[in-house]
Amino acid sequence: MAEFSMRYIVVDVDEAVNFYTRHLGFELVMKPGPGFAMLRREGVRLLVNAPEGGGGAGQRLSGGELPQPGGWNRFQVRVDDLAAVVDALRRAGVLFRGEVIEGRGGRQALAVDPSGNLVELFQVNPG
């Protein structure tokens, strides 16, 4: 079964973790570095990343664009073969923001829906 996550780009990961755990009942699942944390609440997984905070989600895109809070919020869909999915979607006319990004945990691509919202397609690194 597919897993779904929500990701928010935040200015300060520690501040975001504090807000979500203190005020909204999320629990901290992991925080492997200063630029990323994973939280969970009742089956909802919330991933928070700082711009340029490490990992793929905070990296600059090929055009130099840096993720910012607000305009980069998206949900994540895990896929088994990112290259095949991206290729099929592009052939179907789906637009992407930037190219595939390599991060510590896997690879991702940002598909753009008809309204301009992002959907993160994510493939976990093997092993």
pLDDT at 1: 38
| Whole-number Cα distances in Å, 4 to 72, 77, 78 | 17, 5, 7
Q: Which range marks the domain in which residue 64 is found?
A: 4-124
**What DSSP string runs through 9-48?**
E-S-HHHHHHHHHHHS--EEEEEEETTEEEEEETTEEEEE
Q: Which of 125, 127, 126, 93 is nearest to 112 (CA)?
A: 93
pTM (2 d.p.): 0.63
Strand partners, 77: 4, 121
Report yes or no: 101 and 59 within 8 Å, Cβ to Cβ.
Answer: yes
User: Is the pLDDT confidence value at 3 over 80?
Assistant: no
Q: What is the pLDDT of residues 47-87, one digit of tens each?
A: 988 887 766 777 788 888 877 776 777 878 889 999 999 99
pLDDT at 89: 92
Query: What percentage of the chain carries pLDDT values higher than 70?
Result: 94
Q: Which of 15, 14, 4, 80 is nearest to 46 (CA)?
A: 4
What CATH number did the domain enclosing 73 receive?
Answer: 3.10.180.10
pLDDT at 84: 96
Query: Residue ranges of the alpha helices (H) in 52-123?
Result: 82-91
Give the number of domains in the chain: 1
Place of tokens 């998206």: 74
Q: Which of 12, 40, 16 is nearest to 28 (CA)?
A: 40
